[in-house]
Structure 1
Amino acid sequence: MATRSNDTDSDSKAPRPRNARATKELLLAAATTEFAQYGLAGARIDRIAERAGANKRLLYVYFGDKDELFTAVLKHQVGKLAEETPLVDGDLVSYAGTRFDYLLTHPETARLAAWRRFEADHHTASEVEGYQGKVEAIAAAQREGRLDDSLPAVDLFAMVLRITESWLDAPPALLAVSGEQPRSPKRLAQHRAALIEAVRRITTPGPPAHVG
Structure 2
Amino acid sequence: MQTLNLPGADRPGSTGRPLPHARLRIAADGEIEVTGSAFLGYLGSEAPPPDWWPSGDLGTIDAQGFLHVQGRKKQVLITAYGRNVSPEWVETALQSAAVGGLPPIAQAVVFGDGRPALSAVLWPLRADLPDAVLQAAVDAANAGLPDYARVRRWVRARAAFDTDTGLATANGRPQRAAIEQLHRDALVADPLPSTFITEPISP
The normalised TM-score by structure 2 is 0.30
More helix by share: 1
Query: Which of the two has higher C-alpha Rg?
Result: 1
RCO comparison, higher one (Cα < 8 Å, 6+) = 1
